[in-house]
Amino acid sequence: MIRLTLDEYLEKRGITRYELAKKSGIGYPIIDKYYKNAVTRYDGYVLDRICRALGCYVSDILNYSEQDKEKR
């Protein structure tokens, strides 16, 4: 299972969703969906803009867990 941890990343760094939206050029509603992990298909362009704005790697905001893989 892939889980977006943008909420944790922003909280640790004291950055708001609004600040990220302004800095990345991505609209607040999209940032909010990523923040709430409510995205079913991740957009490479959006992830790139987020990572550039935060100065991080995709692996810093995405986690992969094999937990759910074992349930299959």
For 23, half-sphere exposure in the C-beta direction (CA atoms, 13 angstrom radius) is 14
Per-residue DSSP letter, 2 = E
pLDDT of residue 66: 81
Domains of the chain: 2-71 (1.10.260.40)
Question: Which segments in the chain show pLDDT lower than 50?
Answer: 72
Q: What is the pLDDT of residues 48-66, one digit of tens each?
A: 999 999 999 999 999 988 8
Maximum Cα–Cα distance for the chain, whole Å?
Answer: 41
